[in-house]
């Protein structure tokens, strides 16, 4: 049986979800840099 997307679901939502994941990973990476750099700034 072919995959049927839920009602109201469009490719735009899939694209936004993919963006959210990508940005979320980016934010976590930058957060990691902040955690490393911050103690040096506070010193």
Partner 1 sequence: MIPLYELWLPVLVSAALVVSMSYVLHRVLNYHLKDYDRLANEEEVLEALERLAVPPGNYPMPLPTTRREMMSPPFMAKRERGPIWLNVMKPFSLRKVVVQWFAYALMAGLFTAYLTAQAFDAGAEPGEVAPFAGMTAFVGHSLALWQRSIWYQTKWSRTLRSTFDGLVYGVLTGLTFAWLWPAA
Sites for partner 1 among residues 9-38 (CB under 8 A): 12-13, 15-16, 19-20, 23-24, 26-27, 30-31, 34, 37-38
Q: How far apart are CA 15 and CA 40, in angstroms?
A: 38
CB of 1 to partner 1, least distance (A): 29
**Torsion region of 27: left, alpha or beta (phi above 0 gives left; psi -120 to 50 gives alpha):** alpha
Q: In the structure encoding, which two tokens stand for residue 30, read together?
A: 């930058």
Query: Total number of residues binding partner 1 (CB under 8 A)?
Result: 18
CB of 23 to partner 1, least distance (A): 5
């Amino acid at each position: 049986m072919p995959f049927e997307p839920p009602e109201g679901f469009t490719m735009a939502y899939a694209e936004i979800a993919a963006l959210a994941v990508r940005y979320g990973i980016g934010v976590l990476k930058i957060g990691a840099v902040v955690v490393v750099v911050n103690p040096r700034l506070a010193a």
